[in-house]
Structure 1
Amino acid sequence: MAEIQFEEVISGKPGPSFLTGFRRLFYLVTPNETTFQTQEEVPEYIEQATPFFVMMILVEYVVATLKKDSSPARLNDSITSISAGMIQLFTVIFLKSVYAFLYMWIHENLRLLDLPWDSPVTWWTAFITVEFFYYCFHRMSHEVNLLWAAHQGHHSSEDFNLTTALRQSAFQHATIFMVPMALVVPPAAYFVHFQFNILYQFWLHTELVASLGFLEYVLNTPSHHRVHHGRNPYCIDKNYGGTLIIFDRLFGTFAKEDEKVVYGLTHPLNTWDPIWLQVCHLTHIWKTFWATPGLTNKLAVLFKGPGWTPGKPRLGCIEDIPKVTYPEPKYDTQIPVVWSVYVAGHFAMAVIFYQELFAVAEYVTTLACLGRIAFLIWTLSSIAAIMDKKPSAAALDLSRCLAYVTFDVITRLWGPPAVLLPHLLMNVMLGLYLASAVIQGVNILASVLKDKAVKLE
């Protein structure tokens, strides 16, 4: 590991040109440029799109700030959304190869058709099939309580902007539900269209794009997707499409944006904690399962809709959905500006560690990857605790900063560096973590002295 330099790891992977990368976000590609014979040849389109995600998020923020009738993204909500996306990708590191192997094995041994890899017919078949399977999977994620437990995290934001697209669940992987496609669609074609289906959905998460006219009849658009993210009664369980809206129209799950949408869950979480966001509905299912009498009813808790209770229809009653008014109050804890800067700084360092993790994942041991992931989760939890103004936030963050400083110093003295970042950046980050530990230590001491003074009074 000591022989590997970070610059060497991330070099040699040129990205697309600006125009190519930008049009990929909108599925504006041709069969000729996105057809490959083997799965190994398929580019990492989602990974290559990261700079374009950042660019579009910044542009959206500037435009929303300048427009009088728009609300720019909030720091706390955006950090939570991006944190959830980071946590989701941690599991991808370990599961991606498993899904790829399973898909390729089924296609190699059980396929029903031999579609030529270089035919436009194969390309279009993959496009439509991925979209159909995504519609089915997405609909199941709303109508089956266990799957909703994984998916609800994506709907937990009370804002709707491009960072919301990154708010994903660590437990939800559409790939496993796409595996039956291997009976027909070649692996390379599947991996191309699965990525583009996901990429296309990024730009749908914005309030800045109004109706797109006649395109609304065929394509999924921001207007349609705003409905999907709404908690207004007319929005519930509607508009499941990824790239297209035709399957929603065919199967009766389409709803037009007729009134102002209020976003989020019908029962808001009221926290910025990305870990609780992942597991909260699982804990609700666990409690409901044991509290519900009868084996049949217990199984129904798992496999019927999240709104089901004994005596109700499979998906529950729409009358049970709380009515909303606009503007609906949002969860929005306020912290001093200095702490907002502190949070933003540590989140920026977390993003640096996150990029380093994915850059070196194939070069380091599984234990080293797990150690990086554990520290990143610790960091994201500490940041959320500060934003939530939890009493334990200072102690949690102090322990994290001290752990980083201790581990960094030990590895510098007795072995290779713990992370593969430029030397100057490592020194700057060590100084920032040391200063942060002092700040949190002083913060805790001041709180203790204040409590003692109150008791003496």
Structure 2
Amino acid sequence: MAASSPAAPQLALPASQQLRGLFYALTPNESSFCAVEEVPDYVDQATPWFITLIFLELIVKWAQKGSSARVNDSIASLSAGILSQLPEALFITIELAIYIYVWDNYRLLELPWDSPWTWYLTFLGVDFGYYWFHRMAHEINLLWAGHQAHHSSEDYNLFTALRQSVLQKYASWIFYLPMALFIPPSVCAVHLQFNLLYQFWIHTEVIKNLGPLEFILNTPSHHRVHHGRNPYCIDKNYGGTLIIWDRIFGTFAAENDKVVYGLTHPINSFELLKIQFHHCIYIWKTFWNTPGFCNKLSVLFKGPGWGPGKPRLGLMEDIPEVTGKEVPYSPTLPSYLCVYVVTHFVLMLGFYIDLIATKYTLSQVTILMRVGYIILTLTSIGFLIEQRPEAPFLESVRCSTFLALHKLGYLKTYIALLSVTYEVLFSLCIAFWGIQMMKKLTSSVAKQH
């Protein structure tokens, strides 16, 4: 994977195009480009609309049920989404890098990049490729290790849409590669983004049914089923934009009973790295504990529920019973800690947005320092939400790291008063968490005596 070369920042898209991109509602004339370098970053530029629609959903849900999103789950989802995008600040996406290589060296014919027919063919090709990738991500344990992060939330809302896997993109490119034999990379680059953006708005319980569109499109109702752990929901509705592939290949299920969301075996954690990598650890342990070479290969390439003597995808009776009365994992968080976590997450979010906006003008060292700080922040916030014993120490390290990077100019602020405010705030945080560490140490020593 080659490092991304510095390029001029792309012009901002009109707000109407940013919004319509979420619904795959741009025309071929608006979204056809000769070269990959000309393709806008539709995903990054949709960020204001992500925020707008999330707030709109919160208002509607509060008006309907008097309820709102859980802070712990929402932050865990946003953290996963940010982590999944950080590699792109350092490298060109692996999907496009390999696609371009195959196109440059092995293409059989070259469809015109500015033809509407090429645009629509690519729309179908990317969606078909996504269906099979998504299906295999549920049916092959190695692929599930990446994809499971997206299913780990026990809520279903627009925050959940952003709970993405950092590993998934390193396998999905295989399913789009055949198109590189005849479809220009610039066209594919557009549709990969649109296919991802479309799947944002369908992660909601606010929209119930879309009538005749339910027969053709993937909708909130269809995707709620996909995220369910009810028996009728398992391994169903893999479509990205279209639901026709599920209807053709027998993996469709209509929404029926109340959907209970999340993994069949909930991990009960909001820690970023555990959400992303816990299944990798499970596979590693299972691989070495399973006797026989063929069985070890089956651990990797058969379904997540497979075991010796079981069918490829496991047995339905092994899935825990769903009663509909399940209560999501949600440890109580003191009010002061909730305010602290939200405040520092928002501060980190400002640096993340600035990184995305200025990544073409920053040195690789600066980008690397900022990425490292963001990962440290997300990890520490997860520890705080879980109230882990190590949280005070990690948070002290994080705040100290911020002050060091801020002084060295890697986390630069352009307003003098804000810069001073940051230094005072983070110094106070170091003192506070230092006191918490001393209290824990004193308590531990007292217990030993």
Q: TM-score, normalised by structure 2?
A: 0.93
- Between the two proteins, what is the percent identity of the paired residues? 49
Matched with 1:285 is: 283
Q: Give 1:452 deviation, angstroms.
A: 5.8
Secondary structure of the corresponding residue to residue 123 of structure 2: helix
Partners of 1:238 and 1:297 lie apart in 2 by: 26
* Paired AA for residue 272 in structure 1: F
Matched with 1:6 is: none
Pair 1:100–1:451, CA change in 2 (3 A): closer
Pair 1:322–1:271, CA change in 2 (3 A): same
* Paired AA for residue 421 in structure 2: V
Q: Give 1:299 deviation, angstroms.
A: 0.3
2:75 counterpart of 1:83 = no
Is contact 2:272–2:378 with CA below 8 Å preserved after alignment? yes
CA deviations 1:391-424 (Å, max 9, x no partner) are 1111111121123224434x2xxxxx22233133
CA deviations 1:136-185 (Å, max 9, x no partner) are 11111100000000100000000000011111111110334322210121
Q: Which runs of 5+ in 2 are unaligned?
A: 1-5
Partners of 1:325 and 1:13 lie apart in 2 by: 50
Matched with 1:184 is: 182
Partners of 1:388 and 1:74 lie apart in 2 by: 14
2:291 counterpart of 1:298 = no
Aligned partner of 2:127 among 123, 127, 131: 131
Q: Give 1:430 deviation, angstroms.
A: 1.9
Is contact 2:406–2:412 with CA below 8 Å preserved after alignment? no
Say how many residue pairs are matched.
441
Pair 1:451–1:94, CA change in 2 (3 A): closer
Is contact 2:90–2:364 with CA below 8 Å preserved after alignment? no
2:435 counterpart of 1:442 = yes
Pair 1:326–1:449, CA change in 2 (3 A): same
Pair 1:236–1:340, CA change in 2 (3 A): same
Pair 1:98–1:326, CA change in 2 (3 A): closer
Q: Give 1:356 deviation, angstroms.
A: 2.6
Pair 1:224–1:181, CA change in 2 (3 A): same
Segment drifting more, 301-310 vs 377-386 = 377-386
Secondary structure of the corresponding residue to residue 92 of structure 2: helix
Segment drifting more, 47-56 vs 419-428 = 419-428
Matched with 1:31 is: 28
Partners of 2:162 and 2:17 lie apart in 1 by: 22
Matched with 1:63 is: 60
Is contact 1:401–1:434 with CA below 8 Å preserved after alignment? yes
Matched with 1:339 is: 337
Pair 1:302–1:98, CA change in 2 (3 A): closer
* Paired AA for residue 423 in structure 1: I
Is contact 2:32–2:187 with CA below 8 Å preserved after alignment? yes
Is contact 1:61–1:73 with CA below 8 Å preserved after alignment? yes
Secondary structure of the corresponding residue to residue 67 of structure 1: helix
Q: Give 1:18 deviation, angstroms.
A: 3.1
Is contact 2:10–2:40 with CA below 8 Å preserved after alignment? no
Q: Once superposed, which parts of structure 1, at least 4 consecutive aligned residues long, lie more than 6 Å away?
A: 9-12, 453-456
Q: TM-score, normalised by structure 1?
A: 0.92
Counterparts of residues 56-455 of structure 1 (less than 5 Å): 56-68=53-65, 71-173=67-169, 174-409=172-407, 411=408, 417-424=409-416, 425-450=418-443
RMSD of aligned Cα (Å): 2.0
* Paired AA for residue 170 in structure 1: V
Matched with 1:52 is: 49
Is contact 1:356–1:420 with CA below 8 Å preserved after alignment? no
Partners of 2:127 and 2:45 lie apart in 1 by: 22
Matched with 1:414 is: none
CA deviations 1:79-100 (Å, max 9, x no partner) are 1001011111112234425543
Q: Which runs of 5+ in 1 are unaligned?
A: 1-8, 412-416
Q: Give 1:449 deviation, angstroms.
A: 4.5
